[in-house]
Amino acid sequence: MKKQDVINQILGDRLENLANPLLVKAFAPTNIALCKYWGKRDQELNLPVTSSLSISLGSKGTSTELCLNEQAQDIFMLNGEVMSLSSNFSRRLESFLDLFRGRHSWHFRVETKTNIPLAAGLASSASGFAALVLALNKLFDWQLDSHQLSILARLGSGSACRSLWPGFVEWSKGIERSGMDSYGKEISAVWAELCIGLLMVNENEKPISSREAMQRTVDTNMFYSLWPEKVNQDLVAIKKAIDEKDFLLLGKTAESNALTMHSLMLSAWPPIQYALPETVAVTQKIWALRQQGIAVYFTQDAGPNLKLLFLSADAALIQSHFPTLEIIKPFETSSSLE
């Protein structure tokens, strides 16, 4: 099954809707997986091997402005700069928008503004494609529900299906070949005391994309077959931790899940290591702080940067140990998706 087949199934005749002549705007938060998505059962449709669970980072994310372009080409802007149509950023957007042009052969002007580094392990593509899908829904007045929007976002970037909501979101892996049962769903839980600290080690674009690293891990690592069961156990534990507000269970499970994912990358071939010496030094410092009785944990995505997990009561103490840390309280700083 191809992406266009999914689009046609969701939109049907709406794919030919006339576009709103006005400029539309949308925002989507970035999300950090506490239980990771690592491995696809379908490359074309971005269908995962396992389910996953994330937390969105409030006002951290992507704002997108979208309108039709009367010229016979697309225009893509990123943080105020017109991007070359040959850039990787433009090629990904163009390829995605090709799915929605219909018989009218629309061309678009897309202005993207993000307050997170690109391709640095902070899920910039997730918030970017989620915001773009929300904007398309407004531009063409599709009136899609959240599940349908999540599926469309997933076609752009897998983890984008989790970036349509604030707070905790679970992405169900689904079992259908079409992927129509694989989408994000908001978890209705508020944990006001929970803090996420962004610790930037390096903001440069990572040398190996998440997509490439993920597939190499699946293709070459004999231990990958153990990953699904690890995820299943961690999902149960993290949902229990959220329900009972058990921070120690949340922290140790999220950290263990991240370390397992990076261990799989290290034992792929050729090996993949996103951690820099500074990353390792910070992880060792976190472990030392826990030995001193300070409740702080970390998670790490496909990049060198870390996200620290702690409670607001310890925020000042954690900040004193990591002065450059940017502290986010996801349930206090959530932004509207309008």
The torsion angles phi and psi of 15, rounded to 5 degrees, stand at: -60, -25
**174 dihedral zone (left: phi>0; alpha: psi -120 to 50; beta):** left
What end-to-end distance do the CA atoms of the chain give, in Å?
32
pTM: 0.94
Distance CA 155, CA 4 (A): 10
Average pLDDT, consecutive stretches of 10 residues, N- to C-terminus, the chain (338 residues) = 96 91 95 97 97 96 95 93 94 96 91 79 81 97 97 97 97 97 97 96 87 96 97 98 98 98 98 97 98 98 95 98 96 54
Beta bridge partners of 82: 77
- Tokens (6 digits) for 43: 């490359």
Predicted confidence at residue 197, as pLDDT, reads 97
Distance CA 75, CA 110 (A): 6
For the chain, the 3-state helix, strand and coil shares in percent, each to the nearest 5, are 40, 20, 35
Q: What is the pLDDT of residues 43-77, one digit of tens each?
A: 999 999 999 999 999 999 999 999 999 888 999 99
Distance CA 5, CA 284 (A): 48
Distance CA 161, CA 47 (A): 11
DSSP symbol at 177: T
- Helix 146-156, helix 88-97: angle, nearest 10: 140
Peptide bond into 228 cis (omega under 30): no
Predicted confidence at residue 206, as pLDDT, reads 83
Report the DSSP pairing between strands 168-171 and 184-186. Answer: antiparallel
Contact 124, 114 (CB under 8 A): yes
Contact 136, 144 (CB under 8 A): no
Predicted confidence at residue 333, as pLDDT, reads 52
- Tokens (6 digits) for 101: 């042009």
User: Which residues, 6+ apart, have CB-to-CB distance to 166 below 8 Å?
Assistant: 29, 56, 58, 330, 331, 334, 335
The CA distances from residue 312 to 195, 272, 316, 327, 338, in Å, are 6, 34, 8, 9, 28
Beta bridge partners of 31: 56
Instruction: Return the amino acid letter for 12.
Output: G
Q: What is the dihedral of CA 299, 129, 91, 101, to 10 degrees?
A: 160
Q: What is the pLDDT of residues 188-244, one digit of tens each?
A: 999 999 999 999 998 888 889 999 999 999 999 999 999 999 999 999 999 999 999
**15 dihedral zone (left: phi>0; alpha: psi -120 to 50; beta):** alpha
139 sits in which H/E element: helix 124-139
Three-state DSSP string of 231-243: HHHHHHHHHHHHH
- Tokens (6 digits) for 144: 């899609």
Predicted confidence at residue 71, as pLDDT, reads 87
- Secondary structure (3-state) at 49: coil
